[in-house]
Amino acid sequence: MVTSTLQRVVLVAKHASFQSRCCVVSSRVQYSTVYDSNEKTFDKILIANRGEIACRVMKTCKKMGIKTVAVHSDVDASAVHVKMADEAVCVGPAPTNKSYLNMDAIMDAIRKTGSQAVHPGYGFLSENKEFAKRLAAEDVVFIGPDTHAIHAMGDKIESKLLAKAANVNVIPGFDGVVEDAVKIAGEIGYPVMIKASAGGGGKGMRIAWNDDETREGFRLSSQEAASSFGDDRLLIEKFVDNPRHIEIQVLADKHGNALWLNERECSIQRRNQKVVEEAPSTFLDPETRRAMGEQAVQLAKAVQYSSAGTVEFLVDSNKNFYFLEMNTRLQVEHPITECITGLDLVQQMIRVAKGFPLLHKQEDIPINGWAIESRVYAEDPYKSFGLPSIGRLSQYQEPINLPKVRVDSGIQEGSDISIYYDPMISKLVTYGATRAEALQRMEDALDNYVIRGVTHNIPLLREIITHPRFISGDITTNFLPEEYPEGFKGHQLTSEGRRELVATAAALYVSAQLRSQRFLVKVEVSGEWNLASALLPVTINRTPRVLQCLSRDAGGDITLQYLGTQFKVRVLSQLVSTLSAHMPEKVPEDTSSILRSPMPGSVVAVSVKPGDVVAEGQEICVIEAMKMQNSLIAAKAAKVKSVHCKAGETVGEGDLLVQLE
């Protein structure tokens, strides 16, 4: 309800202009990607992947005049990547082990379509040496490194030994296969990192600060590793406190040439998975950048690497850096490197796979401007910074009308986000001459991104990129838990922001009633109100903003997406407001006595039965969602009254799992 106490508010958002002292920004790109039609590579490429990365590879193939073949599961029959390809072959039902990981079916698709080469994207079979061997046996080119490099770098234990031999800085730890985790952790010294030997993407990783956490982390990481990679071997190494996660993009050919294409800062993470990345890093100076780049190339040459790959490092506060792992594939965040170098990495991979030498020298590689990538997920950011959400995109509109915005996606309005695959909706990329410019464009792009039908993480992304600490460049991999120790709660409104929100909701309400366009209620709100549009460009006290009206009803309830976060506002007449005070309120459910599933997933294990007495914090069950293991615990000490799930069952968000007395 709008009252006379509303005051005029002027809210000016200012971002500090942060230019890394190490970065030489040229006034123009030194070169740009040229697609030479006379340079023959392949006639037809099969993309052994799905979603946005399959679409991304197809776009470059189309520019190079190469025909493409999509593979898909039965539930993906109408997916965007299937429609984009020249041909498409179904390789099995929805579960990944029966479709996108089904090597026999994919090999049949290659033979059936006469594909000369395969691009694996990332995930699935991208780092599977057996798949690469099977392709080679049938004279089909694998667009990636040779099998020996995949094998060497795919095993964290072997890769660490090779890195040592190549004079690459490594983290102290235990190099063998772990048998007694507690003993080894004690010898290394806490905290330690427990990691799946064959892992990647944050799966099979846990930090342990004591013996009990080591035992639990070893068990969960082992299960997660077996589920995700079919290999439950683990390793343990010293955990670098307050680290930055900075990676170097490398590119090498089959003629002994190798380049480093600058760095990407990937420190903003949740559960060891990246959320926001940028290139270049605000932290590196020219000397550290060069040292990291040279060591990355040393490692690539040591394993005779050929293709695009990424060497990941942990960097401490004194700029000491340590080898973490090498990903022998294209990275999710490769677009930001493309933005600052002018290179098309997919094109480079295809050229190298055909046997062409690299066209550029190390001195040719620029840092031109700044690029930011936000990973837009179908996730609930209010639960552990992002637990998966499933559903159908009832409305979907990408902000590609804005300048210097790139959206890599593989979905469209009407697409389903299912439990079977990664919950990524898109990679939202913005770039500019300076970091401040790229950040402002990211803020605008997030405000103009329309996603309805699933819960998404735009509220978290927007809070990150507008956070003073992020803007200053003072970040580590601990950023989220440090800044939101009680969990993410959405944008916290100031009194001025609250007045803006209420005034806008009131203006929207009156606009719907009277179809007016301009309102003055102490806070000035104006705009061209198109109530059928998903986006509401408005001017609030002379400050332009873009809001989204997610819902409104005749009773005055309005849900607005404002500054990235959803807010519920009720606009009532004076009479209705007076009467509503007498309406009974619904008593919220006592969640301390029940355990509901916080996400859709499958039950991996149930640790209790009726009659058991559990302690506060004791594990009740383990739910797997998108190949991640999540341990659910008791909120209080109590006796188990009933158990409503069992291992192997699929559960939905909010399903009752266990009831306590």
The residues, any chain, with a CB within 8 Å of residue 30's CB and separated by 6 or more, are 342, 364, 366, 368
| Crossing angle of the two packed helices 211-229 and 181-188, in degrees rounded to 10 | 120
The residues, any chain, with a CB within 8 Å of residue 263's CB and separated by 6 or more, are 246, 247, 248, 249, 279, 280, 281, 284, 289, 292, 293
- The whole-angstrom separation of Cα 361 and Cα 385 is 41
**Residue in 205, 169, 340, 172 with CA at minimum distance from that of residue 261:** 340
Helix (H, G, I), strand (E, B) or coil at 628: strand
Dihedral of the CA atoms 318, 323, 325, 330 (nearest 10)? Answer: 70
Annotation marks residue 329 as catalytic: yes
- How far lies 367's CA from each of 27, 138, 258, 363, in Å? 10, 41, 18, 11
- The DSSP 8-state label assigned to residue 492 in this structure reads -
- The whole-angstrom separation of Cα 206 and Cα 208 is 6
Cis status, amide bond into 468, omega within 30 of 0: no
- The DSSP 8-state label assigned to residue 123 in this structure reads S
Retrieve residue 300's tokens: 């690539």
Catalytic residue among 264, 289, 329, 499: 329
Beta bridge partners of 191: none
- How far lies 127's CA from each of 145, 155, 309, 634, in Å? 9, 10, 11, 38
The answer to whether 235 and 197 are in contact (CB under 8 A) is yes
- Residue 444's identity, in one-letter code, is D
The residues, any chain, with a CB within 8 Å of residue 407's CB and separated by 6 or more, are 398, 399, 400, 426, 427, 428, 429
- The whole-angstrom separation of Cα 498 and Cα 6 is 10
Burial status of residue 497 (CB atoms within 10 A of its CB: 0-12, 13-18, 19 or more): middle
The residues, any chain, with a CB within 8 Å of residue 225's CB and separated by 6 or more, are 196, 197, 198, 199, 203, 204, 231, 232, 233, 234
The answer to whether 256 and 329 are in contact (CB under 8 A) is no
- The whole-angstrom separation of Cα 327 and Cα 319 is 22
- Active-site residues, by number, are 329
